[in-house]
Amino acid sequence: MELKRVVVTGLGALTPVGNTIEETWKNLVAGVSGAAPIQGFDTSKFKTQFACEVKNFNATDFIDKKEVRKMDRYEQLALVAAMEAVKDSGMDLETVDKNRIGVVLGVGIGGIHTFEEQISDYALNGAERGPRFNPFFIPKMIADIAAGEISIKYGFHGPNYTTTSACASSTNAIAAAFDLIRLGKANVMVTGGAEAAITAGGVGGFNAMHALSTRNDEPERASRPFSASRDGFVMGEGAGVLILEELEHAKARGAKIYCELAGVGMSADAHHITASHPEGLGATLVMQNALEDAGLKPEDIDYINVHGTSTPVGDISEAKAIASVFGQHAYELNISSTKSMTGHLLGAAGAVEAIVCCLSVKNDIVPPTINHADDDCDERIDYAMNFTFNKAQERTVRAALSNTFGFGGHNACCIVKKYEA
């Protein structure tokens, strides 16, 4: 069976550095940090008091107020990003076959805002008054509902589900959507991911694991991947959505094409529930698998958007894996971690970073890894590799690879390349 080619024809995003694709890309290229003191709840007793929140977002600017009340914040972000992506794709929704359009979304945690709110209310008041839960508690909380909301809005009757693999969730969603199209089971897939876990439970839980940076005095400089003084990741929230389309379907309707989705890879560390393998064995395997799936050689890749969370172990193991896979070419390609600006969007990270790769390939620009100082080098990291520190770099980007690694040892990556007829 000959696999069908898949292209990217629409993008949408809500991130800590921008509420649209255009604003997000502009600020990433400019090296703008999205980190700031948390506004969503009182952090005065928390070890970490900052995060990368989506700013100036009012869901009722996009969604009917009655519907907004039925949605957790992560669902609102997902739906608005999907609305931008569908509009950007230029699809004529009156003529497309909606039975051949599906939605696969990646969500790591889901409706934690709703869960905390409802359970806290019951714990405080339930004993006296009895159980009294919002009738939308369950549908607002569960992780699959955002994908359902998108299909309901547009009447998309194709495959519809959610992938959950921690921080690899939305890259796994992209991989699943990719396979559905290239196997001929759909013409178009709306895919990506969303997350909104900057809550007392989210921050407190990650603090208990000693996973978060506690650099409260300078939050905008806290996420510093590949620097010796890194002390943990910065939580982020947001959504990224891509429209994947079968090439001939896209050509037939005259769609603009950002790039081609060339291949995906998946693997498991099989090592630890939270820590990455110290030698990057799973990361090595996932990149090798993606290259093989794409039919590309290591020297075909010009840019890697790394997982790069700014954690002491993770950054080292990923750098080792890149050196292992790419050999001498590791010193000729560009590497950057946009988490230095967006923070870690957990289940949405892969989607937003895949979008970054699409735009890098389209525009021949690599956004930077910010917050690195020349005297802040870790002797365990090979700085002969180009981490694109502090300033974006213009270069031809023929193909770009995006890495995402999740708790539980879940690894996924995708490769996009310039579209050639």
State which H helix or E strand residue 77 sits in: helix 73-89
Instruction: Evaluate the CA torsion angle 352, 355, 359, 364 in order and state its sign.
Output: positive
Cα→Cα distances 37→53, 200, 345, Å = 9, 14, 16
The pLDDT value given to residue 44? 97
- Return the residue matching tokens 């409706």: 111
CATH superfamily of 8-417: Thiolase/Chalcone synthase (3.40.47.10)
Q: Structure pTM?
A: 0.97
**Residue 137, CB half-sphere, CA atoms under 13 Å: how many?**
13
User: Quick one: pLDDT at residue 369?
Assistant: 98
Condensed to tens digits (0 to 9), the pLDDT of residues 158-188 reads 999 999 999 999 999 999 999 999 999 999 9
Strand order through the sheet with 259-268? 160-163, 101-106, 188-195, 238-246, 6-14, 259-268, 410-417, 399-406, 303-305, 334-336
- Residues designated as active site: 167, 307, 344
pLDDT over 90 (residue 299): yes
Domain ranges (residues) in the chain: 8-417
Closest CA to 31 of 367, 349, 395, 350: 367
pLDDT digits (tens, 9 = 90+) for 382-405: 999 999 999 999 999 999 999 999
- pLDDT band (50, 70, 90) for residue 1: confident
State the burial class of residue 352 (Cβ atoms within 10 Å of its Cβ: 0-12, 13-18, 19+): buried
The pLDDT mean for the chain works out to 97
pLDDT of residue 128: 83
